[in-house]
Structure 1
Amino acid sequence: MKDPYEVAGHNLRAFVADWLEGLEDPSNVLLVEAARESDPIEACSYGAAYVMSNIAPKVWGENGSEKELLLFAAISVYQDSKPSGWTNCATFVEAAFGYLHTISEAEAAQQLRQWVERRGSEEHRQGRREMYEALGRPLDADPARTAAQDRELAQADHRALRAAAVLDPAGNVAPWNR
């Protein structure tokens, strides 16, 4: 059987082990909530958010190596699958790589590209406007804030597309245009 940490021509086993070293922080509020939560889906949501918060900034904008992008991709698509149950960071990351191989590298890349498509939809933009209006901070009231948030969203989309390209370089950048 193929090593689950073998992804897109890279063996990430040593890289992931180094990344996981010291990652567990029992005092972190997200891990505290993951341990405290009785609902397994919610517990995993807290733990997944903690794991993601430790890789996502490393691949922001043009930052990050291919290995970091692949780790981000595995965690991202697994997190989006709504896993349940939380043990610890290492177990979650191992399950993320197992999941990636279950769906295939090409499908994981496709999911990342589709995530970008959904975020760019009018429905998503309308939901974002409604959320800010409900908070009493309509986006249209402050064009500078709207532009700053649009830049942030573009960076997140760029990160997802970069990760997809490393997973599946031959993949269609715009699969929704087929």
Structure 2
Amino acid sequence: MIITTTYKKPMIKLTQYNKRALYGGIIAAIITGGGAFFLGNLSGYEAKSLIKSSLPGINTLCNTIVLASATILALLLTLLSVSSGTDSKLKDEHYRHVLLIAKIDTIVFVAAMIVFQILNIPITEAENVPNSWYSTIYYISLLLSAVLSGALISVVLMLYNAVTSIIKIIGLGISDHPLLYQDDEKKKE
């Protein structure tokens, strides 16, 4: 007899906290990326010199994002330890929220590492790259740095929401928090 089971992956439900964090990241990406478009159209030579001057800063940004993402993953372990050590019964939503933070943080970590590696290719030293490509490369590098910055800001805001919920539940003893099972909910289970 063969028994098969299917696992239906739940869709990611965006809570109000996740939506605020997502909007915060999008606004940050638009603000940081918007500055590039104030420069107007660039010639290939101008873009090449701007790439040379902006790449060290973008590389530093990528390094910072990689370091911050790794630190956030470690902080999530601490958050889980505190969450599981409490006497209060937390709903599954809290753990799904922490799982979502870990997933997005890992994606940001990998993306920042890839962007860092790509931008370390000495493109401005290559002689066979047409000058017309440099303006496109410049705008893409600024777009990638803006998206990475916005994504990290979203992750930090999501982590902030998770930490403040735990502080309210454990530290302040709020017993009617939406992430806590209430007595009548415990009896149903």
TM-score where L is the length of structure 1: 0.31
TM-score by length of 2: 0.30
* Structure holding more helix per residue: 2
Q: Which has the higher contact order (CA 8 A, sep 6+)?
A: 2
